[in-house]
Amino acid sequence: MLLYKHYTIPKRLNSLKSETCVVGIDLGTSRCCAAVFRLNGVTTVPLDNTGERLLPSYVSYDEENAIFGKTAVKRLRNFPKSIVFDSKRIIGRNLNDIEIDSNWPFRISENNGKVVLEIKRFNDGTTITAEEIATDLLKYIKEKAEEFQGTPLNNVVITVPAAFTEAQKETTVRATKLAGFGNVNLLPEPIAAAFAYFIDRHIPDNAKVLLFDLGGGTLDVCIFKIQNDEIQIISNIGDTKLGGRDFDTVLFNHFKHQLDTKYHITLSKDKKYKLILDCQQIKEDLSPTTSSM
Ligand SMILES: Nc1ncnc2c1ncn2[C@@H]1O[C@H](COP(=O)(O)OP(=O)(O)OP(=O)(O)O)[C@@H](O)[C@H]1O
Ligand SMILES: [Mg+2]
């Protein structure tokens, strides 16, 4: 039987202390988010160059310096061989444990016992590991958070799926240290969600809570037990290989088939990535409405 740690639900801080020089990072499969303490409470950091708080977890290596977020997404059409995404689905896994997505613009292989993504880099490099991608993303997020706070941030809390294996967690910690953080703590994503939920609510004793978190690449379905302000995961039946990205792929395959059979159009490479991004948009539009143009 898996034994899960107990986590004490934090109390809201009323004043800033030195130990508040910390950043919390949700390193998502599809989007990253970071939060810091400000005088008026916890605030999310503008991460993307557009000023948006959510940073698409896309990195482009077609220029000397890596490019992150929306700008990297936009480059997918013209530089697909230099763009990486979904690296959270690869980090810390063995090659035979990776679900290869036929729509990835990169290939996955093994080099000296390490899983690598084959890409086209500005400096002629041809491979990169998911750990290096996570390091680059975290370095960028650290810079943005420090710029926002005007102070160095050495401490970090990173959320990871509850079902992450030891190898996935260790690799994430290594990437975080390489990004320049000194003090790294990992927090299971469902626990972070429960903290956020209970911070402003009455915490019931002896309650059992069901949490359902369908992210971009991972599904966490957890049952917690709450006792004396402590949370313990008692069951986790998530799927680390199921998320919104898979719905995009189903839509993409549908439209690709339609274009092919109904209109006899074969998708060119650049249009393929446009269609993938359009499918994601269509899916999101269809949440609040019944049609999408
Ligand atoms: N309005 C919406 N309707 C349907 N799906 C949506 C909507 N908004 C976002 N999504 C989808 O949710 C997913 C992103 O969710 P989220 O930001 O929770 O994931 P993540 O944290 O990046 O991934 P993970 O937690 O799996 O690592 C994407 O697949 C996105 O397309
Ligand atoms: Mg998430």
Q: How many domains does the chain have?
A: 2
Q: What is the pLDDT of residues 32-63, one digit of tens each?
A: 999 998 887 889 999 998 899 999 999 999 99
The number of the ligand 1 atom at minimal distance from the alpha carbon of 283 is: 4
Percentage of the chain exceeding pLDDT 70: 97
Question: Band of the pLDDT at 1, cuts 50, 70, 90?
Answer: very low
**Shared-domain flag, residues 168 and 262:** no
pLDDT score recorded for residue 200: 83
**Shared-domain flag, residues 59 and 144:** yes
**Shared-domain flag, residues 31 and 161:** yes
Q: What is the pLDDT of residues 178-205, one digit of tens each?
A: 999 999 999 999 999 999 998 888 888 8
Q: Which of 119, 92, 91, 115 is nearest to 104 (CA)?
A: 119
**Shared-domain flag, residues 118 and 258:** no
**Shared-domain flag, residues 184 and 249:** no
189 CA distance to ligand 2 middle (Å): 7
Distance set, CA 127 to CA 87, 130, 131, 273 (Å):
13, 10, 12, 21
- Tell me the mean pLDDT in the region 128-146: 98
- B/e letters for 263-289, b = 16+ CB within 10 Å, e = fewer, are eeeebeeeebbebbebbbebeeeeeee
With a CB cutoff of 8 Å and minimum separation 6, the contacts of 163 are: 218, 220, 236, 238, 239, 240
172 lines ligand 1 (CB under 6 A): no
**Shared-domain flag, residues 187 and 250:** no
Final residue belonging to a domain, choices 205, 232, 256: 205
Residue 209 one-letter amino acid: V
- Tell me the mean pLDDT in the region 157-182: 96
In a domain, 225, yes or no: no
Range of the domain at 271: 244-285
Is 97 considered catalytic here?
A: no
**Shared-domain flag, residues 52 and 197:** yes
The helices-and-strands tally (H runs, E runs) of the chain is 6, 16
In this structure, what CATH number is given to the domain that contains residue 187?
3.30.420.40
Question: Band of the pLDDT at 17, cuts 50, 70, 90?
Answer: low
Most ligand 1 atoms within 8 A of CB, residue of 283, 285, 286 to mutate: 283
Q: What is the pLDDT of residues 218-271, one digit of tens each?
A: 898 999 999 988 999 899 888 888 999 999 999 999 999 999 999 999 988 778
pLDDT score recorded for residue 258: 95
Is 26 considered catalytic here?
A: yes
- Tell me the mean pLDDT in the region 161-184: 96
Final residue belonging to a domain, choices 205, 222, 256: 205
- Tell me the mean pLDDT in the region 273-281: 93
